[in-house]
């Protein structure tokens, strides 16, 4: 196994709100090698964005890491001081956000905002930084870069702004790019362009990417590995084939059933996942998906299942798998 670029172990992140502790991330572990493209999939509130922010040491107030470690590129993120984190952010790890409309500061020009990152992490002079920002805009496929540098964000379209965000993120050639729902706020055609751009750039610069999304289509077109999150836990993780062709967790299966497919037979219906996610203020003792699960068993409501290793890469936390193991182990008695 090659050297891990990112290693998250038993991470727990909680938000201490006036109403109580919200366990946004509840004991997750992720491992990524250099060059990997990892997709984190889940519905809103499942903790996927918080996972991304914790890698950058950017957990918003009043959130805190309660337990666990984050190792990235030789740094122990979880114990680093703010000053040290600032040297890493935008330099070794970058992030692009969901909404390019609001992620750029409206009162500064595009050029100003790109060069800001350069001045922070390199010792380029003004001239060099200007050249580099031109290069970057070319790289992300923006035409008339000289003109764009002088424009304000509101003068650009959504897709263009997301390209600018990517240019900012790539300014210092990071090892890891985190894309937090990079296309959710964009038109479908623009979505495809942005995904294509990211894959191209990955090849050019050889960086790793974490894509956070609720859109399985994006995952399928970009990622090597997938982690499926539900209510702050990774319920299943594996390669793209594992997840798409032999999903084990009932939630994963549900997700796959709920997306339209062209090659499906006509009479097959889309099956939505019934119910609503659990209240994160009072998470249940058992599997968080249990209340919505069609195959829910008594044990599911009482205790969280451990991971079952289906193959080297493929892991899943579900009592149904545990049941099989249990039956296999105690098979004689039955």
Partner 1 sequence: MGGYIIKRVASAIITIFAVATITFFLMFLVPGGPFLAEKAPTPQTIEALEKKYGLDQPVVVQYANYMKRLIFKLDLGTSLKKRGQEINDIIRVRFPVSARLGAISVCTAICLGIPLGSIAALNREKWLDRTIMAISTVGNAIPSFVVATVLMYVCGVVLRILPTFGLTSPAHYILPVISLSFYPTAYISRLTRTSMLDVLGQDYMRTAKAKGLSQFKSLFKHALRNAVLPVVTYLGPLLAFIMTGNFVVERIFTIPGLGSEFISSITDRDYPLIMGTTIFLATLLIILNVFVDIAYKIIDPRIKLK
Partner 2 sequence: MDDKRNPLSFQLDVSDFLPAEESEKQSLVVMRESVNFWKDGFRRLKKNKVAMISLVVIILIMIFAFVLPSFYPYSYEQQIRGSENLGLLQYSEDELARRAAGEKVFPHFLGTDSLGRDTTIRIMMGSRISLLVGLIASAIILIIGSTYGAISGYFGGKIDMIMMRIVDIIYTIPDILIIILLSVTLKYPLKDLAANVKGFAWIDIVGVGLISIFIVFSLLYWVGMSRIVRGQILSLKEQDYVIAAKALGASSGRIIRKHLLTNTIGTLIVTTTLQIPSAIFTESFLSFIGLGVSAPMPSLGSMASQALNGIRSYPHRLMAPAIMISIIILSFNLLGDGLRDAFDPKLKD
CA distance 206 to 175: 8
Binding residue (CB under 8 A) for partner 1 from 14, 46, 94, 248: 94
Options 122-130, 135-143, 260-268, 325-333: segment touching partner 2 (CB under 8 A): 325-333
Number of residues forming the site for partner 2 (CB under 8 A): 28
- The label of the residue with tokens 């610069």 reads 205
Closest CB to partner 2 among residues 273, 300: 300
Site for partner 2 in 130-149 (CB under 8 A): none
Closest CB to partner 2 among residues 265, 334: 334
| Beta carbon of residue 161, minimum distance to partner 1 (angstroms, whole number) | 11
Site for partner 1 in 42-61 (CB under 8 A): 56, 58, 60
Residue 88 binding partner per list partner 1, partner 2, none, with a CB distance cut-off of 5 to 8 Å that depends on partner kind: partner 1
Would you state the structure tokens that stand for residue 33, as one six-digit string? Answer: 């090698």
Would you state the structure tokens that stand for residue 8, as one six-digit string? Answer: 């998250």
CA distance 88 to 76: 11
Options 79-87, 122-130, 236-244, 278-286: segment touching partner 1 (CB under 8 A): 79-87
Contact between 84 and partner 1 per CB under 8 A: no
Would you state the structure tokens that stand for residue 169, as one six-digit string? Answer: 């993120």
Contact between 295 and partner 2 per CB under 8 A: yes
CA distance 85 to 114: 20
The answer to whether the CB of 67 falls within 8 A of the CB of 25 is no
Contact between 291 and partner 2 per CB under 8 A: yes
Q: Residue 287: exposed, middle, or buried by beta-carbon count in 10 A (0-12, 13-18, 19+)?
A: buried
- DSSP class of residue 323 equals H
Contact between 274 and partner 2 per CB under 8 A: no
């Amino acid at each position: 196994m090659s050297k891990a670029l990112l290693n998250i172990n038993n991470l727990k992140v909680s938000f201490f709100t006036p109403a109580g502790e919200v366990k946004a991330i509840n004991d997750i572990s992720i491992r990524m090698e250099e060059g990997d493209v990892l997709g984190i999939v889940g519905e809103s509130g499942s903790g996927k964005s918080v996972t991304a922010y914790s890698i950058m040491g950017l957990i918003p107030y009043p959130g805190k890491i309660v337990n666990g470690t984050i190792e990235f590129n030789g740094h122990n993120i979880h114990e680093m001081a703010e000053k040290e984190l600032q040297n890493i952010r935008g330099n070794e790890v970058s992030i692009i956000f969901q909404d390019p409309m609001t992620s750029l500061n409206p009162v500064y020009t595009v050029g100003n905002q790109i060069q800001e990152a350069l001045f922070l992490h390199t010792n380029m002079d003004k001239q060099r930084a200007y050249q580099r920002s031109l290069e970057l805009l070319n790289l992300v496929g923006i035409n008339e870069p000289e003109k764009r540098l002088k424009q304000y964000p509101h003068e650009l379209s959504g897709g263009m702004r997301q390209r600018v965000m990517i240019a900012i993120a790539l300014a210092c050639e990071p090892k890891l790019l985190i894309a937090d729902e990079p296309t959710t706020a964009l038109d479908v055609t623009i979505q495809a362009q942005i995904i294509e751009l990211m894959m191209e750039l990955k090849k050019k610069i050889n960086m790793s990417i974490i894509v956070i999304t609720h859109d399985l289509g994006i995952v399928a077109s970009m990622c090597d590995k997938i982690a499926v999150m539900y209510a702050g836990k990774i319920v299943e993780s594996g390669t793209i084939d594992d997840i798409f062709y032999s999903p084990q967790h009932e939630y994963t299966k549900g997700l796959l059933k709920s997306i339209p497919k062209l090659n499906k037979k006509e009479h097959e219906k889309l099956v939505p996942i019934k119910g609503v996610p659990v209240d994160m203020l009072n998470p249940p003792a058992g599997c968080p998906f249990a209340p919505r699960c069609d195959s829910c068993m008594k044990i599911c409501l009482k205790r969280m299942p451990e991971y079952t290793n289906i193959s080297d890469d493929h892991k899943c936390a579900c009592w149904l798998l545990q049941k099989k193991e249990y039956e296999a182990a105690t098979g004689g008695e039955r």
